[in-house]
Amino acid sequence: MTTAEGVMGFQGIAINVWLIWMLPFIGAALIPVLRRSKPNLLNYTAVAFSVVSAILAATLIPLALTDSEVHSQVNWISALNLNAGILADPLSIIVTNVVAWISFLIVVYSVGYLHGERDLTRYWFFILFFIGSMQLIVLSDNLLMLFFGWEGVGLASYALIGFWYYDKKKDYVGRERHMALGIPMWAAPTHAGMKAFLMTKAGDIMMLAGMFLIFIYAGTFGFKELVADQSWAVEMSSQNLLVPAAILLFGGAVGKSAQFPLNEWLLEAMTGPTSVSALIHAATMVKAGVFLVGRIGPLFFALAAFNMAQFFEVVAWVGAITAFLLATQALMNPEIKKVLAYSTGSQIGYMMMALGIAGLSTQFVDGFTAGFFHLISHALFKAALFMGAGALLHSVGSRFLTDMGGVRKHMKKTYIFMLLAGLSLAGAPLITSGFWSKDSIFAATLESGYTYAMPLFAIAVIVAMMTAFYTFRMLGMAFFGEPSKHLKDMEAKGHHVHEVSKLMWVPFAILAGATIAIGLVGITFEEELHHVFAMYLDTSFGIPEEGSTHGAVMTGQQGPVGGSEEQQEREVEGTFEINYVAVAASVIAFGVGGGLGYLFYIARKLNPEIISKSIITRAIWKFLYNRWYLNSILYWGTVVIPMLVYRIIWRYFESTIIDGINPAFQFSTASFSKIVKAGQTGITQTYLFVFGVGILILVMLLLI
């Protein structure tokens, strides 16, 4: 592998890597300075900084294709011997380009979507601040710098979820007056922002604990340093702390990527502008957890001698449970953005499952490639779907699918590109990236050799069926059928449904086209990605494409061992074959789920109200519509019951005892003061008497 390791400062192409994440921060700092200028200047500034960052990210692509990397450091915290650094290896180069180019397109989309909106200074500041923070996560060479970016994206997410802090009812999510177990199931923007902030912080605290636990034993946060000298792992394993530390790090990923049980915040996050939902809560920030697992996963797999399979099992099953849980809830939700939010959490569950399967298989590269192939694919089609949903909201004026219907006649471009992106989400065979990326996850699961591979595979296929169904349901309710009463009322008032401007539809048209383009060359794209990651894993971690790891710990050597160059080439070239069982399962899942969705919501051959005719199906519908009551349980356990306990403590302890102690203490002090004052007569005999009594008391105490 050709590297630029050991570079100190900003030399050569390293300057490009530093600027990728620094430029958005510089742009964010300029935005308040330009706040009194014309709105267009703010728009141009945001677009300019985002596109330059994206171009710089593109300059790194040749490095990934040739298995090269850039590692540059500068002095940071000398007392702890810590350097700040960037690491542009094949993994981070691929992800940084996904983040950069999708961010740029969404910034352009935002110019049209938020035209005429007030508070643009605040919006552009946090958007650019977010892009810089996300790129810092991807390009950091150590956990501590990564954590700074981690908290940065959390702050931006909180601020942009509550962007419309005026809390007008039109900006709520959820249907007003919808209650479950006495808990409101709708949320205002400020409430949703706070909920997201607190829930993700639960994961962040776990991550911080895992980071410092490793630092105590390793004395470094650096990824490359942790690989080079793995003696820290030996010591942690001897004290049974290695797996807990890994799972604590994964806790951060669970919070940021909205995985079970910290998934509930993502659904209320839809109170933010749709451009925010597309960028932060679909394409980038929620993928930060996947990236973190991808960054640390190979390291922990290389420590196979310490039974790290427990960590990967947790990752795989959390992903599978989340994928199933959120897919079921997307089946009947009436809000288009919430359907897409449920879908996002579910699809990220697929990615986590793939990375977990990677660690449970001797073919680590298969699951690793599948997870990141789906990350790329999902970022493209889900960002396009969210932007398309924003176009619908912009034109229709409602977030509810029941307020739409027949819109394709008036918004043909939005319909076509949402249909293409929707087909990719549903996994339309052979022509969409979503089909091939899901198929790669199915194949990696089947070929893993994991004891419980078949249950995971069954869950994955069922989720694929549900995904196809709710995708066709969403498209059918929005674009097909008769116009809703809401649309008819709009028409009567002179407000006509119309296509959005080019600034809005061109960005998601590009992404929808990209997902189809990748789908048409799906096998070739997957094979090339597989080859890039195989070389990366072998040269960086000593994980060959075939067989178990032969990393440093297992061989007793310092640093990863990859054998001779000829041996490495033979191992990574391998053979790439299609798993026909996985392909068949993908086709069947699309056929069954998509077919039912088509019959119910597009062809209208079946009436969805059939569900209400049975008490059992009605109960299931209510259970899923109420989000498995998990949101209600969360509020009862963390808000309602604790507040009840606090009120009891206040009433019977603070109000009665604490508030009672203060007057009693005051009274006793005043009484003692009166006694002392009584002795202050000015008569010498009185003082001698008091002095004598005092001496007598002291003598008696000493004799006891």
pLDDT tens sequence across 414-468: 999 999 999 999 999 999 999 999 999 999 999 999 999 999 999 999 999 999 9
pLDDT of residue 70 exceeding 90, the answer is yes
What's the CA gap between 700 and 704, in Å, rounded?
Answer: 6
Compute CA 525 distance to the chain's CA centroid, rounded to the nearest angstrom.
25
Q: What pLDDT was estimated at residue 382?
A: 97
Of the candidates 40, 22, 26, 29, the residue with the CA atom closest to the CA atom of residue 120: 40
Q: CA separation (Å) from 593 to 28, 67, 241, 334, 597? A: 44, 40, 44, 18, 6
Residue 251 has pLDDT above 80, yes or no: yes
Is it the case that residue 212 has pLDDT exceeding 90?
A: yes
What pLDDT score does 356 carry? 96
pLDDT at 18 over 50: yes
Same domain, 295 and 424: yes
In this structure, which amino acid lies at residue 32? P
Does one domain contain both 545 and 640?
Answer: no
What average pLDDT does the segment 563-589 reach? 68
Q: What pLDDT is stored for residue 545 in this prediction?
A: 77
pLDDT, residue 577, reads: 76
- Does some domain include residue 386? yes
Residue 46 within a domain = no
Q: Verify that 595 and 545 share a domain, yes or no.
A: yes
Query: Does residue 678 have a pLDDT over 90?
Result: no
Confidence at 689, pLDDT banded by 50, 70, 90: confident
588 with 651, same domain: the answer is: no
**What kind and span of H or E run contains 88?**
strand 82-88
User: Do both 512 and 443 map to the same domain?
Assistant: yes
- In this structure, the answer to whether residues 609 and 646 fall within a common structural domain is no
Do 240 and 287 share a structural domain? yes
**Can you give the pLDDT at residue 526?**
94
- Phi first, then psi: give them for residue 323, nearest 5 degrees: -60, -45
Whether residues 643 and 539 fall in one domain: no
Q: What is the pLDDT of residue 456?
A: 97
How many angstroms separate the CA atoms of 213 and 244, rounded? 9
Residue 562: the pLDDT is 38
Q: pLDDT tens digits for 496-510?
A: 899 999 999 999 999
Is residue 399 assigned to a domain? no
Over 70: is that where the pLDDT of 563 sits?
A: no
Mean pLDDT of the chain: 90
Q: What is the pLDDT of residues 527-556, one digit of tens each?
A: 999 999 999 999 999 888 764 433 333 333
> Quick one: pLDDT at residue 619?
93
CA distance 364 to 357: 8
Tell me the mean pLDDT in the region 515-530.
95
Domain boundary among 609, 625, 641: 625
pLDDT confidence of residue 591: 97
Asked if residue 91 is part of any domain, the answer here is no
Given a contact cutoff of 8 angstroms between Cβ atoms, the answer to whether 358 and 444 are in contact is yes
Determine how many CB atoms are found less than 10 A away from the CB of residue 675.
Answer: 8
- Judge whether 503 lies within some domain: yes
pLDDT for 672: 75
In a shared domain, residues 604 and 642: no
Same domain assignment for residues 329 and 425: yes
Written as six digits, the tokens of 234 are 């030996």
Q: Give the dihedral of Cα atoms 152, 158, 163, 168; nearest 10 deg.
A: 180
Q: How far apart are CA 672 and CA 311, in angstroms?
A: 65
Please write down the HEC assignment for all residues of 482-550: CCCHHHHHHHHCCCCCCCCCHHHHHHHHHHHHHHHHHHHCHHHHHHHHHHHHHHHHHHHHCCCCCCCCC
Q: Is the pLDDT of residue 205 over 60?
A: yes
Q: Which residues contact 198 (CB under 8 A, 6 or more apart)?
A: none
Task: Tell me the pLDDT band of 345, cut-offs 50, 70 and 90.
Answer: very high
Helix, strand and coil in the chain, % to nearest 5: 75, 5, 20
Residues 104-126 have pLDDT tens digits of: 999 999 999 999 888 899 999 99
Q: For residue 215, what pLDDT is reported? A: 96
What's the pLDDT at 362? 84
pLDDT for residue 7: 53
Into how many domains does the chain fold? Answer: 2
Whole-number percent of the chain with pLDDT over 90: 75
Asked whether the predicted pLDDT for residue 6 surpasses 50, the reply is: no
Residue ending a domain, choose from 598, 625, 652: 625
Mean pLDDT of 93-99: 97
The band of 564, judged by pLDDT with boundaries at 50, 70 and 90, is: very low
Domain that holds residue 657: 631-703
- Which of 571, 603, 625 terminates a domain? The answer is 625
- DSSP per residue, 302-367: TTGGG-THHHHHHHHHHHHHHHHHHHHHHTS--BHHHHHHHHHHHHHHHHHHHHHHHHTSS-HHHH
- Look at residue 204 and tell me if it is in a domain: no
Using pLDDT thresholds of 50, 70 and 90, give the confidence band for residue 610: confident
State yes or no: pLDDT of 568 exceeds 70. Answer: no
* One domain for residues 305 and 439: yes
224 inside domain? yes
Could you tell me if residue 275 is inside a domain? no
Q: Are residues 543 and 652 in the same domain?
A: no
Is the pLDDT at 665 greater than 80, yes or no? no
DSSP 397: -
Q: What is residue 64's predicted lDDT score, i.e. its pLDDT? A: 93
Which of 272-276, 466-470, 558-562 is predicted with the least confidence, judged by mean pLDDT? 558-562
Instruction: Tell which residue, 29, 161, 41, has the closest CA to residue 111.
Output: 41
